[in-house]
Amino acid sequence: MALSRTAARTIWRRAFSPVRPVRALEAEPWIIDELTVGSREIAVRGWALPPIRPAPGAAFLVNDNRPASIEYPLPRPDVGHAFWRRDRSGDSGFRLVARPVGEPYPGGILRVSRPRASPASPEAGRDHWCYPDPARHADLPDENRRFRVIGNRDATGFLSTGCTDHFRLDRACRALFGHGLAQGGRVLDWGVGCGRIARHLLAADPDADLVGCDIDRDNVEWCAGHLPGGRFVPSDLRPPLPFPDGHFQVVYGGRFTHLRAPLEALWLEELRRVLSPGGIALVTVHGATALEFMALAPDQWLTMRDRIDDEGLVESSPNSQLVGFVPNPEEYVNVFHSRRHITRSWRRHFDIVRILPGYVFTHDLVVVRRR
Ligand SMILES: C[S@@+](CC[C@H](N)C(=O)[O-])C[C@H]1O[C@@H](n2cnc3c(N)ncnc32)[C@H](O)[C@@H]1O
C-alpha cells in the first residue's frame, strides 16, 4: 500500500528528529511573574530560558543597574513541565532584589532587562520588560474591555504587556529602518482594542499621527473618549478599511493570529493598499514559540508541529473573547503559521523584511514592506 506524502514525511520526521531537549531556540522566552515596587526595594520573580552562561547573575539589570541580589537558577518544576523540550528548563527560575538609586520609574517606566543580543539588533527588544508608572495610567478601561483584548482581567499585566509590546515594536523599527514606530509618518494601529499598546505610543510620542481602528465599537469609543492625541474609528471584519490608498507609512497589529486563510489573503492585500510604497507593517502570528507555550505533551506537540509544517496555516481552536461585541464572532479563531507559509504566501503581497520569533510575548513578529 502506498503511503501518502504527508504520512511518509511524518514517519521520516519522527524517526530522524526525535523529541529531545534542545539547548537554545532562537526565541528563548523569559517571563516576569511578579514585580513588587517599594521606594527602597524592587523585587522581581520570574523565569528565563535557557540558563544564562557563562556568568549567570551578571546578565540581569533593573533600570540598567545590576540588582543588589540575584538568585539564579532556581527550581521551576512548572516551567520544566511545560517546556519539556528545553534543556534544564526546570532550573530557570530567578529572583532579583534591586535598591533604586533615584525614582523606581525613571522617565515613567521601570525596565527589567536580560541583555543577550547586541543592543543595536532588532532581537535586542526581546531582552527587556517594561513597567509603566501606574500613577500615570490611572484612567484604565474596565476589566471586561481589557478581557476582550488579552483574555484576562489583570490590570498590571495590561499595562506592562502594552508598554513592553510598544517598546519592542519601537526597537525593531529603529533597528530595521532607523526610525521609531511613530516617526516614519502616519501610523495605523489595526485592531487597536482598548488601546493597550496605543496608550504607550501616545505617551512616548505625543505628536504621533496615530489612527486606531477595530471591529469592537465599544472599545473604539472608549479609546476616542480616553486617549487624547489619537484618532479612533470603527472598521469591519472584512476589508475595506475606511482609509484611502497609500494613507499610512506604518501599520502595526496582531490580527493574523486570528484569521483563516481566505480572510488572511484579503487582509494582506488591504494592508498593502492602505500603505504607501515603501511603507511597513509589523504584525504578529502564532509560530513555534506560541506552540511551546501551549505546554502540550510530546505526542500532541509533534502532531501539531507536523500539521503546521504541512498545512502552513492551521486553525487550532475557536476564540470566544469577542462574543456579544462583534457581528460574526465565529470568524475570530486561533491560528498557527509555519515560517514557510509566511515566506511563500505573504511574499505575493509584500517583501518579507524579518521574522522575529517570540518577540511579542508568545507571538512571532513579522515585519514586511510594501514594494
Ligand atoms: C488580541 S486583541 C489585541 C488588541 C490590541 N491591539 C492589543 O494589543 O491589546 C485583537 C483585536 O483585534 C480586533 N479585530 C479582530 N478582527 C479584526 C478586524 N478584521 N479588523 C480590525 N480589528 C479586528 C479585535 O476586536 C481585538 O480588539
- pLDDT tens digit sequence for 233-252: 999 989 999 999 999 999 99
Helices within 151-277 (DSSP H only):
155-177, 198-204, 217-226, 261-274
Where does a domain end: 116, 131, 146?
116
Whether residue 20 is contained in a domain is answered as no
Do 203 and 323 lie in one domain? The reply is: yes
pLDDT digits (tens, 9 = 90+) for 312-368: 999 977 666 665 666 666 666 789 999 999 999 999 999 999 999 999 999 999 999
Of 192, 199, 210, 214, which is best to mutate to test ligand 1, by the most ligand atoms within 8 angstroms of its C-beta? 214
Do 106 and 238 lie in one domain? The reply is: no
Whether residue 52 is contained in a domain is answered as yes
Do 184 and 60 lie in one domain? The reply is: no
Contact 43, 36 (CB under 8 A): yes
Of 181, 188, 194, 215, which is best to mutate to test ligand 1, by the most ligand atoms within 8 angstroms of its C-beta? 215
Q: Whose CA is nearest to atom 11 of ligand 1?
A: 191
Distances (CA, A) of 324 to 146, 193, 327: 15, 15, 8
Ligand 1 near 48 CB (within 6 A): no
Ligand 1 near 254 CB (within 6 A): yes
Ligand 1 near 274 CB (within 6 A): no
Ligand 1 near 141 CB (within 6 A): no
Whether residue 313 is contained in a domain is answered as yes
pLDDT digits (tens, 9 = 90+) for 91-124: 999 999 999 888 999 999 999 999 877 888 999 9
Do 189 and 83 lie in one domain? The reply is: no
Ligand 1 near 192 CB (within 6 A): yes
Do 179 and 74 lie in one domain? The reply is: no
- Average pLDDT value over all residues in the chain: 89
Whether residue 159 is contained in a domain is answered as no
CATH number at residue 207: 3.40.50.150
| Domain assignment of residue 363, given as a range | 166-369
Q: What is residue 56's predicted lDDT score, i.e. its pLDDT?
A: 47
pLDDT greater than 90 at residue 1: no
Do 179 and 110 lie in one domain? The reply is: no
20-29, 63-72, 154-163, 330-339: least confident range? 20-29
Do 178 and 312 lie in one domain? The reply is: yes
Give whichever of 90-94, 199-203, 294-298 has the largest mean pLDDT. Answer: 199-203
Whether residue 145 is contained in a domain is answered as no
Do 184 and 283 lie in one domain? The reply is: yes
In DSSP terms, 94 is beta-bridged to 46
Number of domains the chain contains: 2
Q: Whose CA is nearest to atom 26 of ligand 1?
A: 193
Place of cell 511518509: 8
Where does a domain end: 75, 96, 116?
116
Where does a domain end: 82, 98, 116?
116
Letter string b/e over residues 244-254, b meaning 16 or more CB atoms within 10 A of that residue's CB: eeebbbbbbbb
pLDDT greater than 70 at residue 6: no
